[in-house]
Structure 1
């Protein structure tokens, strides 16, 4: 049986939507301060293919991201809201205003499976300064004892460093390359590599177990041996415990936006990308294996682990950790 909302059944809502040709987000959300506020139906969602994270499930207080990273694997989610996966993803950020309330309810029935935080859009992007959803998310996860990793490029995460330590959170800062020319072209809204390296050092000093998500490595742009070596060397110097390399994925939504930019900035590379990627936006196994192998070797040289984090079990409130069953 469908549950009515404010006296109106879902069938009736669908009929209203059918005769309103505005994008779904404009029919279901409130525009406030340049952000679209929506009520989340669920807080924990399956991680989309191409997101580049190890966890299968995630909590995302925001959809869309002002960092405007060309290769972001979450872009396709905006199309389900009636928005485009390109400029709309960068500029029309959706705030899931009730995410903490929903999350607490869902965590009461959740098991030990680790969660990612901030997959649909950076959880510490500029919108978080206004809405401050993350302290509630972190507290809810910490109180439930569910293992989780916060993915971000933003120094704003330091605001919640004490909360993250208390909750047993892991941090993953994305640093794919240290060339500022590339960063300005493909991550125009994010802070530079040096600021992110300093962020890694600050998180480690605060007591947050922190690794670097070296993602996305851009084929033919940031994958030269000297570029990879420079990036890994500076990550090690920042104090990260490990590197998790991810070669660029081009899922639906991301592919067209990225290749449009590539055609304008580096037209000679488009045909080579078409050869390298399959229809699902996955690079060839041979290429990916070669790149990740190079990074793994560099990590050994600099004394860091390389690869996906080992899963941890549910934590008892207060810090004691249980075995993962």
Structure 2
């Protein structure tokens, strides 16, 4: 930082958002101000999620030690018979999600700005399509440098959104992954996934295939205003049932859980009951978090549809993208109790290769119309 004024403004901003920081002695002749975040990886991630800095070179967390204040103990170690890279991505609950990153409402909005499009109306109406995606995937999988790492799809933008019905990008992608026996997973809200069930079954014969659906609530009225353009929650859970009947262990990400809208006991119990009835193998709750881009868009939607909730959201999200951990622990506890009531275990799914001897007929897929 070139001068004391800039340094003072930076420290005031850090204090405003309750960041922990330290000031180091100048390490060069200019005597410039050197500020350093303390508090480890959680503070670094919170800083990146809040500010979304333009310089992204140091965002990588590879090799960073993860620390937790909770008194955790190892209860059992099991040999899975295979070696996989494990990426631990911290969440606001203090738990971890392995081998995948999930986010909602929707942090991918801000990526539209990389293309000089806005994160609001442009994100809703202008879809960027890489028409040679299947060809590129096959090329990457065949490269000598590729070591067969797990490929997680749907972690930024849903790969079964409406445009997929027209462009059919996923079949050649799945064919490439099948042909190279490369493990992969899919997280989606789209029932069009059922169209590709034969390819998923073929891939599951030779590699690990993970399937997950996102269902944050089952209230139809809330779905119509909060998730327009997506299949209804009951259609998604019907897809879970059909995939389960086809032999796959399908996890459900109960996200986003919306404060004041879907976080009460009645809503959570109804949602978990429906998820359990669908045959899902697990449920993983995540409260709404609002990163830059999504934060502004969601705030305008909330003020228009549910203005009485605006003060509560200001309080919950005043410190950044995530609601306070106490709130998230409370919501997670409600989901856990509901899961126990309905006989459903909370957590991530493992190997989904669980195929019957005789495959059932491929179910009909639902294709939503393009805007």
Provide TM-score, normalisation by structure 1: 0.72
Quick check: 1:120 aligned with 2:156?
A: yes
Number of equivalent positions? 257
Q: Distance in 2 between matches of 1:230 and 1:57?
A: 26
Q: Equivalent residues in 2 for 1:68-79 (5 A)?
A: 71-79=105-113
Aligned with 1:97 (options 122, 131, 136): 131
Match of 2:23 in 1: none
1:139 and 2:179 are equivalent in the alignment: no
Structure 1 equivalent of residue 304 of structure 2? 264
> Is residue 75–residue 89 contact of structure 1 (8 Å, CA) maintained in 2?
yes
Following TM superposition, by how much is the alpha carbon of 1:230 offset from its aligned partner in structure 2, in angstroms?
Answer: 0.4
Do residues 228 (structure 1) and 275 (structure 2) align? no
Counterpart in 1 of 2:115?
81
Normalized against structure 2, the TM-score is what?
0.63
Cα drift, residue 273 of structure 1: 1.1
RMSD: 2.8
Q: What is the CA-CA distance between 1:147 and the residue it aligns to?
A: 2.5
1: CA distance between counterparts of 2:251 and 2:200? 14
1:129 paired residue among 156, 165, 169: 165
Q: Which residue of 2 aligns with 1:307?
A: 347
CA distance in 2, matches of 1:305, 1:88: 39
Task: State the alpha-carbon separation in 1 of the partners of residues 186 and 203 from structure 2.
Answer: 11
1:155 to 191, 195, 207: 191
1:307 CA displacement: 2.3
2:107 partner SS = coil
Relative to structure 1, the CA distance from residue 246 to residue 119 in structure 2 (aligned partners, 3 Å threshold; closer, same or farther) is same
Q: How far apart in 2 are the matches of 1:57 and 1:239?
A: 24
Partner of 1:250: 290
* Alignment-derived partner of residue 273 in structure 1: 313
Which one of 163, 177, 180 corresponds to residue 217 of structure 2?
177
Query: What do the CA deviations read for 1:116-149 (whole angstroms, capped 9, x no partner)?
Result: 2123332122211111110111122233333222
The verdict on how the C-alpha distance between 1:297 and 1:245 changes in structure 2, with shifts beyond 3 A counting, is: same
CA distance in 2, matches of 1:246, 1:94: 28
Deviates more, 1:116-125 or 1:156-165: 116-125
2:238 — aligned with what? Answer: 198
Q: 1:22-61 residue pairs with structure 2 within 5 A? A: 55-56=99-100
Q: Give the alignment partner of residue 218 of structure 1, picking from 252, 258, 275.
A: 258
When residues 106 and 70 of structure 1 are mapped into structure 2, their CA distance, relative to the original with a 3 A threshold, is closer
SS in 2 for 1:306: coil
Task: Report 1:2-21 matches (<5 A).
Answer: none
Point out where structure 1 has 5 or more consecutive residues left out of the alignment.
1-45, 59-68, 314-325
Q: Runs of 5+ in structure 2 lacking a partner?
A: 1-86, 353-371
What SS is found at the alignment partner of 2:202? helix
**Larger Rg computed on CA atoms:** 2
Supply the distance in 2 between the matched residues of 1:111 and 1:268 (Cα, whole angstroms): 52
Q: 1:111 to 1:140 in 2, by over 3 A?
A: same
Aligned to 1:94, the other structure's residue is in SS state: coil
* Distance apart, 1:114 and its partner CA: 2.9
User: Structure 1 residues 260-269 or 296-305, which shifts more?
Assistant: 296-305
2:19 aligned partner: none
SS of residue matched to 1:223: coil
Structure 2 match to 1:316: none
Cα distance change on mapping 1:97 and 1:57 into 2, 3 Å: farther
For residues 150-196 of structure 1, the C-alpha deviation after alignment (integer angstroms, 9 at most, x for no partner) is: 12222211111121122122211111101011101110101212211
